[in-house]
Chain A
Amino acid sequence: MEVIKVKSLVKKYKELVALEHLDLTVNEGEIFGLLGPNGSGKSTAINCILSLLSYDKGEIEVFGKKMTPKAYDLKRMIGVVPQEVAVYEELTVRENIDFFCGLYIKDKETRKKYVDEAIDFVGLNDFVKFRPKKLSGGLKRRLNIACGIAHKPKLIFFDEPTVAVDPQSRNKILDGIEELRDQGATIVYTTHYIEEVDRLATRLAILDKGQVIATGTPEELKKMIKKNESITIEVSGLTEKNIAEIEAMGSVYSVSYENGILKAESGEGKHVVTDIIAFLQKEELDIGNIYSEQPTLNDVFLEITGKELRDE
Chain B
Amino acid sequence: MLKYFMKMVLRNKTNLLWGLIFPIALMSLFKLTFSNISSSENTLDTRKIAVVLDGSGLYQENFKTVMDELSKQDSEGGLAVEVSYTDEKEASSGLDNGDYDFYYVVGDEDITVHLGEKYGVATGMIAREIADTYKFNMDIINECLKTDPTKIGEITESLGNRLDYIAMEKEEEADVYMWYYVSTLVMGILFDYALGLRVLATVRADVAGSAMRVALSSSSKTRMVVYCLFAQLVSSLAKTAVHLLFMQFVIGIDIASKAGIIAVAIVATTVFSICLGILLGMFFKGDVQSRENKTLGFVMLSVFISGEMIVSLPGYIEKYAPVINRINPATIFNKIFYRILLCENKGDLAMNLLILTIASLVMLTASIIILRRETYASL
Contact = CB atoms under 8 A, between A and B. Distances in A.
Q: Is the interface of B mostly helix, strand, loop or mixed?
A: loop
Contact of B375 (A69, A86, A95): A69
A103 B209 contact: no
Among B217, B376, B379, max chain A CB count under 10 A is at B217
A98 B4 CA distance: 9
B1 A99 contact: yes
Among B1, B11, B213, B374, max chain A CB count under 10 A is at B213
B378 interface: yes
Given A51-B375, A53-B378, A53-B379, A90 B8 contact: yes
Nearest to B206: A52
Interface string A77-112: 010101011111011000100111011100000000
A206 interface: no
A52 B213 contact: no
Given A54-B375, A76-B218, A87 B210 contact: yes
Nearest to A79: B216
Interface in B1-45: 1, 4, 7-8, 11-12
B218 A103 contact: yes
Contact of A102 (B1, B216, B378): B1
- Sorting the interface of chain A by its residue count into under 10, 10 to 19, 20 to 34 or 35 or more gives 20 to 34
A203 B366 CA distance: 46
B323 interface: no
Nearest to A105: B218
B377 interface: yes
Interface in B350-379: 374-379
A148 B213 contact: yes
B280 to A, nearest CB: 22
B218 A147 contact: no
A148 B378 CA distance: 22
B8 A69 contact: no
B218 to A, nearest CB: 4
A207 B20 CA distance: 51
9 contacts: A50-B216, A53-B375, A72-B218, A86-B210, A88-B4, A90-B8, A95-B4, A102-B1, A103-B213
Contacts of A103: 1, 213-214, 217-219
A95 B210 CA distance: 14
A309 B355 CA distance: 60
A91 B377 contact: no
A47 interface: yes
A30 to B, nearest CB: 21
A179 B291 CA distance: 40
Given A52-B205, A52-B215, A87-B210, A70 B8 contact: no
B67 interface: no
B376 A86 contact: no
B106 to A, nearest CB: 62
Contacts of B220: 72
A181 interface: no
A71 to B, nearest CB: 9
A57 interface: no
B144 interface: no
Given A75-B217, A102-B4, 4 more contacts: A50-B216, A52-B375, A86-B208, A91-B4
B138 interface: no
Contact of A13 (B212, B216, B378): B378
B219 A85 contact: no
Contacts of A76: 218
B217 A147 contact: no
Contact of B218 (A13, A86, A104): A104
Contacts of B1: 99, 102-103
Among A90, A100, A147, max chain B CB count under 10 A is at A90
B379 A88 contact: no
Interface in B193-216: 205, 208-210, 212-216
Contacts of A90: 7-8, 11-12
Contacts of B205: 52
B218 A52 contact: no
Contact of A86 (B7, B209, B374, B379): B209
B378 A86 contact: no
Given A80-B212, A103-B214, A52 B4 contact: no
